[in-house]
């Protein structure tokens, strides 16, 4: 059981027969009256987002979410194909289940497949990936001191904002949660 006072981002609980993941939470202590917890919850099955408030003493059962490491194999139209590296079972997921998770993932990368009671509801990419720049405008001498950035296309086809000194062929490290450039590799 998880009390509302212990809510944190990413915790998954069962409320009113629905499996909900906490996207945002805020503990509020008004000057008058009792404290409460304001939350934004995402339904892990259908993806709907709802805002609710709770008393800090309310308790909810934690939902058991299975996260399995699987290797991304290839995309076939609307289907994304993954393989369990332990037993070599393959899994094919639709675009609506995968969402934008595969933006920075290339073939053979390891992802976490999240499921509840055997039903897959999302894919978690690795937190950080190293990708090669395939297209960007060239930087000019003296541009490195300005702190400005320019758009660049990485090998997965995604667009990232990079510093001016990054060129075509450079490998960069990207945070997949925010899509931000971190460093050159």
Tokens 């290839």 belong to residue:
74
pLDDT in tens, 72-126: 999 888 888 999 988 989 989 888 778 788 888 888 899 998 888 888 878 888 8
DSSP 62-122: BP--EEEEEEEEEEETTEEEEEETTT--EEEEEHHHHTTTTTT--TT-EEEEEEETTEEEE
**Quick one: fold of 66-124?**
OB fold (Dihydrolipoamide Acetyltransferase, E2P) (2.40.50)
- Quote the CA–CA distance of 98 and 94 in Å, as a whole number: 6
The reply to whether domains 66-124 and 129-184 share a CATH topology is yes
Domain 129-184 adopts which CATH fold? OB fold (Dihydrolipoamide Acetyltransferase, E2P) (2.40.50)
Task: Please check whether the domain covering 2-60 is classified as CATH 2.60.40.10.
Answer: no
Q: What is the pLDDT of residues 133-165, one digit of tens each?
A: 999 888 666 655 567 788 999 998 889 998 888
């Amino acid at each position: 059981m998880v009390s509302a006072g212990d809510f944190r981002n990413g915790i998954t609980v069962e409320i009113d027969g629905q499996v909900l993941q906490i996207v945002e939470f805020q503990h509020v202590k008004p000057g008058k009256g009792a404290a409460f917890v304001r939350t934004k919850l995402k339904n892990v099955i259908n993806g709907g987002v709802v805002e609710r408030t709770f008393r800090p003493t309310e308790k909810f059962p934690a939902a058991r979410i299975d996260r399995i490491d699987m290797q991304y194999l290839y995309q076939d139209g609307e289907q994304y194909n993954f393989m369990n590296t332990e037993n070599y079972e393959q899994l094919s997921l639709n675009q609506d289940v995968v969402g934008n998770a595969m933006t920075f993932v290339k073939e053979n990368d390891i992802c976490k497949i999240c499921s509840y009671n055997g039903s897959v509801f999302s894919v978690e990419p690795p937190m950080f990936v190293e990708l090669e720049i395939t297209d960007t405008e060239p930087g000019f001498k003296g541009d490195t001191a300005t702190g400005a950035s320019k758009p660049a296309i990485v090998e997965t086809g995604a667009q990232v904002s990079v510093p001016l000194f990054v060129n075509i062929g450079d490998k960069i490290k990207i945070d997949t949660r925010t899509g931000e450039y971190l460093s050159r590799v």
